[in-house]
Structure 1
Amino acid sequence: MYVIAEIHGRTYSASTVADPGAIADPLPGGPFPCLLWDHDGRSPAPLRSAVARALLEAGCRYVVCGGHNCEAWHDAIDWEFVNAHIDDPTGVTDAAHVMTSWHDGQTPDDVAFFFVRNTNFDDHDFRTHVVLHVGAGSDHDRLNAAVRRHALAEGAA
């Protein structure tokens, strides 16, 4: 995992999903939002499920899905949450609540803006933010730069 930006106690880091589907770096512990960007649309359902489980188990509380197949990624997160908590009492599911959104057809800049500016909810004021790149594509640097630009602008406000 490498740092994209740090400002006012907030850290924005990025990682990739490496073959055969493992996240290249350990995810942070504790609650965090994740911007998951699918660069090539070649991720099969079992990979989406495995990544969704890893994010949820690491404490991810908001997943912003962009790029290719972003609605399928969104659905995978939701299904894995339901599968993990189907028999839990309401108090447990409420404490582990995960927000999800998908941003079909939106630019990396637009999705980065949403990720930086709109992922705190309820009592969550996240300090750790993760950008997860899935697949090969030309937008890795562009997405990271957009997150950095919006994070630094948010910190200056």
Structure 2
Amino acid sequence: MRVIAESQGRIYISVEIERPDEFASPFPGALFPCLIWYHGSRFGAEERSALARALLEGGCRYAVCGGVRCKDWHDAVDSEFVKNHMDDPDEALDEVHVMTTWHENESADDVGFFFVLHTNFDFHDFDRYLVLHVGRGREVEHVDAAVRKYALGEEV
């Protein structure tokens, strides 16, 4: 775990994992958006579901999915949300609502811009942001640099 940036009371953390059981929320008790950047390791549907469940239980309220097969990650988060809240009354759903987007074939810079500047919604004004790298890949530094650039207001 490393700090990418701190600015205006917000902190941006980067975490790399190779397996779902390696994930633990760096923000216990806090809500946060998460940029899931998939580097194409061997995560199947069960592993994606397990990680999506852990993210939601850990406080993720916006999942921005980028990298290889990012739509699969988007769908896993949506499916886990539905499984866990299918029978909840509407009032309860408002409190736990999760937004998701996927950014197929988009650059790290474009996804970083969206993640930093467009993930607050409704009553959520986040001050903790997680960049979660799933698997190993060359793009780790590019993704983190893009998030840093927009978090610090460089070239915006």
- Cα drift, residue 22 of structure 1: 2.0
Residue of structure 2 in register with 1:71 after alignment: 71
Residue of structure 2 in register with 1:84 after alignment: 84
RMSD: 1.6
Q: Is the counterpart of residue 115 in structure 1 residue 115 in structure 2?
A: yes
Residue of structure 1 in register with 2:100 after alignment: 100
**Structure 2 counterparts to residues 1-157 of structure 1, below 5 A:** 1-19=1-19, 21-28=20-27, 29-40=29-40, 42-153=42-153
- Cα drift, residue 25 of structure 1: 4.4
Residue identity (%): 52
Matched residue type, 1:66: G
Q: What residue ranges of structure 1 are gaps of 5+ in the alignment? A: none
Q: What residue ranges of structure 2 are gaps of 5+ in the alignment? A: none
Q: State the aligned residue count.
A: 155
Matched residue type, 1:44: G
Matched residue type, 1:22: D
In structure 2, distance between residues paired with 1:10 and 1:127:
4
- The answer to whether the 8 Å contact 1:15/1:23 transfers is no
Q: Deviations over 1:63-93 (max 9, x none)?
A: 0000011111000000000001112111111
TM-score by length of 2: 0.93
In structure 1, distance between residues paired with 2:142 and 2:10:
20
Matched residue type, 2:21: A
In structure 1, distance between residues paired with 2:39 and 2:96:
28
